[in-house]
Amino acid sequence: MDGSKPVNAIQEAPGNQIPPRITVYKDRNFKGDQSDETGGYDFLGDDWSDDISSFKIHAGEFEFYPARDYGPEDWGPVRLGVGDYPWVVDAGIKNDSISSWKAFYGVGVPAPIVRQPSAPTGEEAYNYAGIDHRDDPSCGRGNYSSWLYNKHPSRKIKVTYYDSASPQNLKVADMDPNKEYPAGRCQMLNVRSTEFIN
C-alpha cells in the first residue's frame, strides 16, 4: 500500500480456494482513494494505516487490528467474511483505526503476509502491471470500470485476472510494453498473477 506495489502474495490456494482479496476505501460508502489488496499486512504503511472507513471483501476472510503487528488496543480483533462494509463502525471497527490485518482463504488457512518494500525493486512483473479502477459515470454512481496496464518500457507481461462477481473464471491478457486498455466496463476486476513473457 502506501502508493507502491506490495510484494505479490498470491500463491496457489489450498483446496483450490480463491485467494483472499479486499478493496479498501478512505471514505465511507466506498468513496475516496481505494486500494485492492491480497494477503496479510503486519503494517499498512503511513498512507493507509488509520485511514480506512469502508471496504469490500471479495474472497476469503480478513481479521483486522488497530495496531501494527496485529496488536490490540481499544477494539479488536474483528474477523469478517465476504461482503460489502460501507461503514467500518457498523462492523465493530473504530473509524480510521485499522493498522494491520490477517487474511484467510476461508478455510481457516492463513494467507501469506505482504511485506511492503519502501520502493519497487528489481524486475518483478507486479511492479509494472496490474489493474486500475476508474470512476465511470455511465455505470451509475459509485461504480467503476477496470483498466489493464503494463508500465514496463520494453517487456511484455501476462496478467491473469478475474471479475469479483465470478472469481472462479480466470482471464489472461498479454500486455505490450507501455500500454493500457479497458478490460471491464462497470466491472471490478482483480489481478490473480503477473509474469514477464519476454
Torsion over CA: 169, 37, 13, 152 (sign): positive
What CA–CA distance (Å, rounded) separates 125 from 192? 12
- Please report the pLDDT score of residue 127 as a whole number: 75
Domains of the chain from N-terminus onward = 18-114 (2.60.20.10), 125-196 (no CATH)
* 116 — pLDDT class (breaks 50, 70, 90): very low
Q: Are 61 and 106 in contact (CB under 8 A)?
A: yes
Residue 117 has pLDDT above 90, yes or no: no
- Please report the pLDDT score of residue 110 as a whole number: 57
Average pLDDT on 3-26 reads 58
User: Mapped to the 3 state alphabet, what secondary structure does 10-38 carry?
Assistant: CCCCHHHCCCCEEEEEEECCCEEEEEEEE
pLDDT above 90 coverage of the chain, percent: 24
pTM metric for this prediction: 0.52
Residue 120 has pLDDT above 70, yes or no: no
